Amino acid sequence: MLAACASSPSAPGSSIPTASEFESYLAAHGGLRTFGHPIIERQEESGRIHQVFANAELVYDPALPEGARISPAPLGYSLGLAEPPVPAPVSEGTYFEATGHALDPRLKLGFESAGGEPVVGAPIAEAAARGAYLVQYFENLGLRLPLDGSSEAFEFLAYGYASRRQIRAPAEAALPPDARARPFALFLDPYGGEAVFGRALSEAYAAPDGALEQAFGNAVLYAPTDSPGSVRLRPLGSALGPPEPPMTGSSDTVGLYVPASGHFVLWAFAEFYRAHGGEAVLGVPLEEGKTVEGVLQQRFENVVLEYRPDLPPHLAVQLAPLGASHAGTAAPAGETPQPAPPSKQVCSGVAGVITQPESAILAAGTVQRIAVQVVRPDGSPWAGAVPLIVVHTPQGDLYPPVPATDSEGRTSAALSIEGLRPGEIVNYEVVVAAEECTGYAIGQFAAGM
């Protein structure tokens, strides 16, 4: 029931056996060099077998045909490593139209050594220098290569460790350098994640209005304090200027008419608009579509949409990079914006978070209380922190209001959950992000029989 991101013991890979279902698959695709040691015991969930290795997670589904029962989980997406697509390169690199990214030729040997796209997945970002290494992220695995090394010196990134923050990675693990905590993952992922909204420019932080906020390349997400069960986009489109006067009546030949603003969503953008939350997420259109420097654009309350004919047709509608401008005014890119200067030393690093439900077995019709304690990296209580708690229930996710921590770093939240079946497991997450600190913990409880 307890989880703390800063104090969990390490899991020596050599002490955990590989599940028998995966032995042949590992041997056929590079073994330890590709996947690393197991870091979690074999687990069964909904009839499928899972096991997490240092560099990947494998899934065995006995319901699938022979030869297709084992597949890697797409950890690259769940770690927030995807980027918006780019046009195909003129010469070098193998371009994958499904994701809009190209395999860097310097990493081709490592990519093929593991079995290519069926194992590694398609690239979800362009290769980039990260310190002394060339790094590229793929759907299921990540690769890096010393900038001054040969193509044979490739190694796989520790996706598995990065996806299980409660397990301390060994010092030699090559963690993906761009992975961040994703408190808004449950909102992001149904709409395409970072491949649509852009890579996170910061960890989550406390905005001046008290909301938990995170800046991405193309948008800024926040959890409003007056509506703890929701996630919204900041109105970056509105910040660009006042709306244009409304049009006079609808017309099916122009686009999708939005009466709330009196403007049309151009047909070029209508399908994307509907699929990405429409008014509730992107906001109403503030003006008609127009061509700006050869690019068809349209401004909405929260985003600007662009039509990019140089991208594959299914990726042609993209968000303009407004989030980078917001992050640039709020704080330098990659750093955590802060509220008013604190009266004591700013917290910097990984905070410790411990959580425990009041009832490990929750009786029907009773209220569950979730206790949380937060400590700074030096182990001292963190007073005044406001955790975000996300409880995953059969009816959807609940965000119970959480008071600020007291002088001992303690707080709690209470909630009622309807519709639980006897024995059903409820999981929840706790995220703390303020000043220059972040912390994360997970917990669970069961419904009574």
- Residue position matching structure tokens 């297709």: 68
- 48-to-13, 45, 213, 393, 422 alpha-carbon distances in Å: 22, 5, 36, 21, 22
Output Rg (C-alpha) for the chain, integer angstroms. Answer: 23
Predicted confidence (pLDDT) at residue 6 exceeds the cutoff of 60 = no
User: Which two three-digit tokens encode residue 40?
Assistant: 């979690």
Q: How confident is the model at residue 11 (pLDDT cuts 50, 70, 90)?
A: very low
Question: Which residues contact residue 189 at a Cβ distance below 8 angstroms, ignoring those fewer than 6 apart?
Answer: 77, 78
Burial class (CB in 10 A: 0-12, 13-18, 19+), 237: buried
Determine the average pLDDT of the residues in 443-448.
Answer: 88
Task: Report the Cα 29 to chain-centroid distance in Å.
Answer: 27
Looking at every residue in the chain, the average pLDDT score rounds to 87
- At position 162, the amino acid (one-letter code) is A
- Residues 405-423: pLDDT tens digits? 899 999 999 988 888 888 8
Q: Which structural domains are found in the chain, ordered by start? A: 10-178 (no CATH), 185-330 (no CATH), 348-447 (2.60.40.1930)
- 225-to-34, 99, 234 alpha-carbon distances in Å: 44, 35, 14
- Residues 302-354: pLDDT tens digits? 999 999 999 999 999 999 999 987 755 444 334 433 333 333 455 656 778 89
